[in-house]
Each structure stands twice: as structure tokens, then as C-alpha cells.
Amino acid sequence: MTPQPVIVGIGAVVPSDLVAVARHGAPVVLADDALAAVDRARAVVERLASAATPTYGVSTGFGALATRHIEPDLRARLQRSLVRSHAAGSGPEVEREVVRALMLLRLSTLATGRTGVRRETAELLAALLSHGITPVVHEYGSLGCSGDLAPLSHCALALIGEGPVRDADGVLRDAGEALAAAGLAPVELGAKEGLALINGTDGMLGMLVLALADLQVLLRTADVAAAMSVEALLGTDRVFAADLQALRPHPGQASSAANLVRLLADSGVVASHRGPDCNRVQDAYSLRCAPQVHGAARDTVDHAALVAGRELASAVDNPVVVDLDGGVDGQGRVESNGNFHGAPVGYVLDFLAIAAADVASMSERRTDRFLDKARNHGLPPFLADDPGVDSGLMIAQYTAAGIVSDLKRLAVPASVDSIPSSAMQEDHVSMGWSAARKLRRAVDGLTRVVAIELMTAARGLELRAPLTPAPATASVVALLREHGVSAPGPDRHLAPEIEAAVGLVASGAVVKAVEDTIGELS
């Protein structure tokens, strides 16, 4: 079923629309108000292009070469040369969803009428998205200042019919060939257009929005995993009570704790040790403090979403067209600025990687408790069927521990590392693209660690029989079993079961199973 088209106007792109275009292939249509804004800004650029006074980005060179005035007969070559020379990425291909996200966000900035491109250039970018033509963008090349120059240049290269692309079927083709097959013609870039196509934070912002969509699901899944671990490790749910959480009124903490209370409701396992003869005074931190850690991560996600929302509402280019409605001379003007700097996005990308690492670290500690007979309160060592003959989930924990170690390295900030470039004209850069790339790896790692905790906790719950789990956690056990994650028994090949659990976490199926049982989680 073809997704509904996403309308790109002069307003901000909605995160759900970005996900629809990037991940689900939704086509794109430029709104009439956007096309009108594009036309107004283009008129300003064309007036300045014909003027005797040089204007940066219109009739000059770029970066450290901005002092050279470019004659009119060389300006088309100037724009082509800019795109070709800046399409200098290297390394593996970037994921299709990332490239589509950055293309949509560049189109959104063009649609604000602040960049000065022609409408046919904006329309061709929209057509590439609608026809599923995805330029090949490489892992390395962006310093996150003057925007994501190399990644965006590889996309701009496709607009002039050059460079490799992947068509809607994922086949690698020459851009000119792919455009012709779709009934599209390349554009010849006019004054300022090359610069307008490559000067933005669209790559890092696109990856931020996609990561936020994933983390909003992942953190609810982490609550589910924590509840299952508390339950199967004979922990108490009393510490999650609302009056205790209110003593430290962080909103994320309150939401996480409320989820844990609901997830553990009507648990026969929890009820079995709730009486006056229970000698468990306090649970370990990885159980007792789950709302504090998960909640802090939730608050970090909320802060990052606030920054993303501001960035989505921005027109990021240099120079920009301003005073379209009058201004000093009533004709609009083009001004240089520093809005392309990726610091606001880079900071929160790094912050999210820290949160992902810490949530995963706590999850792995809960997994480890299950496997130690001195700490798992009566469960077999490593949850093995015949300990000694069987190793149970011993090495699954190794896998989680190895991922957590990687996540800690990925939590080292990229945004504090600036390398000057462009003959010291661009002497401070954000490294926001690098921060975004490592966050994607961090989100994947967190997904895997939480999946391993879920399959471990599910086995622990089943080994507590005849005690019965809560309806919510029982639904997750059933989901895992339906998808090939086996019940306790002799050792078998674990890697496929781990991947099955990872898929259920990543798709949101775990959260859906719970919410189908007890209603929507916070």
C-alpha cells in the first residue's frame, strides 16, 4: 500500500512525516505557498546576480575563496564545480532512510523561500523522493559546519544527473540513467543554487529525528524489561509507588515508575513474597532505581525533541534571503550568517548517546543477576537446564556486556572535537554528523541489550512456575515464544533467538503486546 503523500510547505516538517518519507517511502508534494515563497526569493537572487556589487554565494567564490568575484559567464560552472568538488565523501554507503531524511529536510528549507533556488530545482528534489531515487552518500565527509556539506553534495550531484544513485528497487545506477527512467530531467544550476543545496544541518537533524522515534519506543520497552526482571528476581514493586516518586519530581521518573506499577499489577510472583515473613529489605540498584535511570533518559529525549522541533522550524542556509516583504529598499536582500553551525544538534546527539549507554548498562546488570545463583534467589545457574552440561544464557550475557562496553565508548562526545578547515576560515566545527552516526550505533546497541534482558527475564519468569506472572509481562513471554524464542530447556543455537528478540524490540511489537493487554504506557 502506497503511503499518503507528505505536503511540504513553508512551515516545519512534522517528525511523523519525516519518518513516513524516510522509512516508509512516502512521496512528497510541494505546497503552493512554498512554491510562491521560492519564486519570491529567486527574484531577489537574480536581481543581486546582475548587480555590480558582489554578493557572497551569488557572485563570489566560497569559504576561504569568497574574496574572488565571479564573472557572470562563469557562474553556472561555479555551481557545478561546487557540487562536484564537495561530493568528496568516502567509506560505506549511508542507510537509505538517512539519505531520504536529509533530502526531505533540505527540501523543507528550500520551501521556506530563504535560499533563493528556482522552483524547478526544488521540484526535482521532491520528485527524487517521490520516485524513490536515493543518491549514494558516504559515511565520512561531514564536519557538521557549513552544514553536512559532503553528504548534501552527493544528493545535489544527482540533481544535475551525475554520480551513483539507487533506484526504488535498490539497484545501483548512474543518476542520469535513473532520472531518465523516471521521466525526469536534470537541472542546470543557476546562481546560488549549488550552495543552497548543500549548506544545512539536514543529515544530523534527520538522524536525530529518527533516533528520537526509536528511543521513544525503546525506553518504554526498557520499562517492560525492567518490570519482568523485578518480577522474576523476586523484587518488590513498593519502591515504585507514586508518593515516593513525587518526592523527586522529575517527569520522566514519574512516568517510568507508573509504568512499572502497571506492568507488575496482578502478578502472582510479586504477591508470593509480599507477606510479613519476607526478609527482602532492599533490592539492588539495577532493580530499585530503574525509574530514576529510565526517567532521566526520558527527560533527555524530551529535551532533544525540543531542540529538534526548533531545528525543524528553521531555515538553515548561508547566505539567506531576508526582507522579502519589504525591508530597507523594498526588494529583499541576501545576508551571510552562522545558522549552519551544528552545535545545537550535535550537543543533544551526544547527550542521547550517554543516556542510551546508561540505560543499556543497567539492563545488562539485571541480565547478569539472573545468571548468578548467589543473586538470583533460587533459579538455576545461568538459567541452564542441566548446569554444567548446559551453559544456559551465559554467553548471551557476554554479548550484552560487549555491546555495553561499545556503548560506553560511543558515549564519548563528538561535539567537543573541532578540527579547523578551509584554510582556517571554518576554524570551529560541530562534528554533529559524527555524533549522529555514533548515536545510530548506540540505539542499535541499546535495542540488542534490552532484547537480551527480555529473553533472560522471560526464562526466569517461566522457571518461577507454578507462580504466575502479571498479565502484562505474560503477554511478552507469549510473544517471544510465538516468534521462536524458546522456553527453558537444553542448550540450543542462541543467535537466531537473540535476533528474533531484537526484531520484536525494534519493531515496537513488545510495547504493542503490553499495550494490547493493559492499555497505553506512559
Reference 196, options 107, 272, 298, 308; nearest CA is: 107
Torsions phi, psi of 333, nearest 5? -150, 165
Task: For the chain, give the number of residues.
Answer: 522
Which cell numbers hold the place of 156?
Answer: 545535489
CA torsion angle for 175, 176, 177, 183 (degrees, to 10)? Answer: 110
Distances (CA, A) of 334 to 56, 72, 129, 368: 8, 18, 29, 60
Spatial distance between the Cα atoms of 253 and 182, rounded to a whole number of angstroms: 51
Q: Do 390 and 343 contact (CB within 8 A), yes or no?
A: no
Distances (CA, A) of 180 to 96, 126, 177, 194: 21, 16, 5, 21
Q: Please tell me whether residue 517 adopts helix, strand or coil conformation.
A: helix
Residue with cell 540505539: 443
Q: Do 253 and 291 contact (CB within 8 A), yes or no?
A: yes
56 labelled catalytic: yes
* Residues belonging to the active site: 56
